[in-house]
Structure 1
Amino acid sequence: MFARKIATAIVLVMAAAGTASAQSPTRIQQFNAWGAYSYQSGGGKVCYVLSVPKEKSPAGVDHGDIFFLVSQRPGQNISYEPQVMVGYQLQDNSKVNVVIDGRTFIMFTKGNSAWVENAAEEPALVAAMKSGKDMSVNAKSRKGTATSYSYSLSGISAALKQIEACK
């Protein structure tokens, strides 16, 4: 089941990056809860780390496939960009909160994805992920359902190190 989720994530990542002509992603290595991947796109090589939540709330709701990823796109001057992807449409003009060790990072939403609202905070979010143990992501669906996802940060530092030299 995990492999199917990862395959779905890869397709979603490629679609979000506008890489219809991209080659299939290659799994570089798995580091506990985080996997490192890469693929070639028209804009150059794309590398990213990805994880799925260990817990989803509320129970009994179809969340679809849920992912948190951090991507590097050197050809587009994008370095360590965090993103949330969910299996449903997020509420328009809502915010997604990412909480690590009591520190909250705010993300803006578009469709079924969210990105850090203030791009200058992206390095702080990535640093918090590297030093933290657990991360929670809180969102609201277009239908108004409050959702929450819990991620393990075990392996994030090693996975990010693996894509450090993405070129």
Structure 2
Amino acid sequence: MITKVFSISITAIIVLISGQSLGQKAIDKFGDWTAFYDGSGKKRSCYIASLPQKQSGKYKSRGATGITVTHRMQQNTKNIIEIRAGYTYRKDSEVEIKIDGKPFLFFTNSDSAWAYDKEDSKIVRSMVRGKSMVVTGFSSRGTKTVDTYSLLGFTQAHRSIGKSCGLK
């Protein structure tokens, strides 16, 4: 039964967070986070993903939501955070992220929010120490949404992708 639930949750994350390659392979599930890798050698990418535990807002319909933290060896990047809203963000808006109450701002582009340059690793350090993360954004129609993510398992999942991608 646990294996079936694990497979279903991995499949849900893969389908719902469509920004990643379809060739990815699961490393493992850690609490509320699942770790993946794709490719090999310098072309390897590793990422972790999670779905919100709670969603609120007065919206009529909403697409898939989720968060990923990615290392891409070919581009020499690590800790790239992306939040998928399930709708198009309001033009030129920012998304507020609170990790255990500590605020961070992300810029938006279409249906995704990204940390500003050089902020990703700082935010990841807060996620490692944190228990929960609240994401507040506004749709192009002005609808406010609040998504709450658990950070249970984040540290182990993050370490696993660092190891899989050969990072220290």
- TM-score, length-scaled by structure 2: 0.86
SS in structure 2 at match of 1:82: strand
Q: In structure 2, what residue type is equivalent to 1:139?
A: G
Check conservation: 1:139, 1:148, Cα contact below 8 A.
Answer: yes
Check conservation: 2:34, 2:48, Cα contact below 8 A.
Answer: yes
Q: In structure 2, what residue type is equivalent to 1:36?
A: A
Instruction: After TM superposition, give the deviation of residue 145 of structure 1 in Å.
Output: 0.5
Which residue in the other structure is 1:87 paired with? 86
Q: In structure 2, what residue type is equivalent to 1:107?
A: F
> Which moved further from structure 2: 3-12 or 53-62?
3-12
Within 5 A, what are the aligned runs for 1:18-33? 24-33=23-32
> Which moved further from structure 2: 106-115 or 58-67?
58-67
Residue by residue over 1:57-97, the C-alpha shift from the partner in whole angstroms, topping out at 9 and shown as x without a partner, is 12664222111110000110111111101221111100011
State the distance in 2 between where 1:10 and 1:66 align. 7
Residue by residue over 1:98-131, the C-alpha shift from the partner in whole angstroms, topping out at 9 and shown as x without a partner, is 10122111100001111112x2221110011010
State the distance in 1 between where 2:133 and 2:39 align. 30
Q: Say if 1:24 and 1:10 are closer, same or farther in 2 by CA, change over 3 A.
A: farther
Q: In structure 1, what residue type is equivalent to 2:134?
A: S
Coordinate RMSD, CA, aligned: 2.0
Which residue in the other structure is 2:115 paired with? 116
Which residue in the other structure is 2:48 paired with? 49
Which residue in the other structure is 1:161 paired with? 159
Which residue in the other structure is 2:4 paired with? none
Query: Structure 2 stretches of 5 or more lacking a match?
Result: 1-7
SS in structure 2 at match of 1:11: coil
Identity within the alignment, %: 31
Q: In structure 1, what residue type is equivalent to 2:12?
A: K
1:145 to 143, 146, 149: 143
Which residue in the other structure is 2:14 paired with? 7
Which residue in the other structure is 1:104 paired with? 103
Instruction: After TM superposition, give the deviation of residue 3 of structure 1 in Å.
Output: 4.4
- TM-score, length-scaled by structure 1: 0.87
Check conservation: 1:10, 1:25, Cα contact below 8 A.
Answer: no
Query: Structure 1 stretches of 5 or more lacking a match?
Result: 15-22
**How many residues of Structure 1 are paired with residues of Structure 2 in the alignment?**
158
